[in-house]
Amino acid sequence: MMVGYDLMTVDLASYLITHKTHPVWGKLPAIMEAFKKYPTAEWIWWLDIDAVIMSPEVDLYEHLLAPSVLSRTVTEGDPILVLNDDFVPVNSGLRTRVRCLGGQD
């Protein structure tokens, strides 16, 4: 476990929006819930339940979560790409979200 990080799991079906739409729309209220649960958090890192980390020796902080990496990938638009064996991008189920004070009540 990485020091300074917490794990939050959610059931997307528990959000009302998923009762009338595709369950993927439950991610939006889940992210808002995470920011409410952790009011001092600046970033939320979302990893889909069906994602598999195949190289445990790779330091997630160094490659994905360090402030310099987050700045480059989010604010400068340099995306994190996960490639298959043919070097084709795949849907990795990995998302990073930053707190935006303008959109909060």
Residue 102 confidence (pLDDT) above 70? no
Q: For residue 29, tell me if it sits in a domain.
A: yes
Q: For residue 23, tell me if it sits in a domain.
A: yes
Q: For residue 77, tell me if it sits in a domain.
A: yes
Query: Can you tell me the distance from the alpha carbon of 32 to that of 97, in angstroms, rounded to the nearest whole number?
Result: 10
Mention every residue, 6+ apart, whose C-beta is less than 8 A from residue 82.
89, 90, 92, 94
Closest C-alpha to 73, from 36, 40, 45: 45
Domain hosting 23: range is 12-103
Q: For residue 7, tell me if it sits in a domain.
A: no
Q: For residue 3, tell me if it sits in a domain.
A: no
pTM for the model stands at: 0.61
Average pLDDT over residues 26-39: 89
Q: For residue 2, tell me if it sits in a domain.
A: no
Domain count, the chain: 1
Question: Cα 2 to chain center, whole Å?
Answer: 16
Average pLDDT over residues 24-34: 88
Residue 19 confidence (pLDDT) above 80? yes
Residue 62 is given by DSSP the state I
Closest C-alpha to 47, from 6, 97, 94: 94
Q: How confident is the model at residue 1 (pLDDT cuts 50, 70, 90)?
A: very low
State pLDDT tens for residues 38-91: 898 877 878 777 777 777 787 878 877 788 887 777 676 666 666 556 665 555
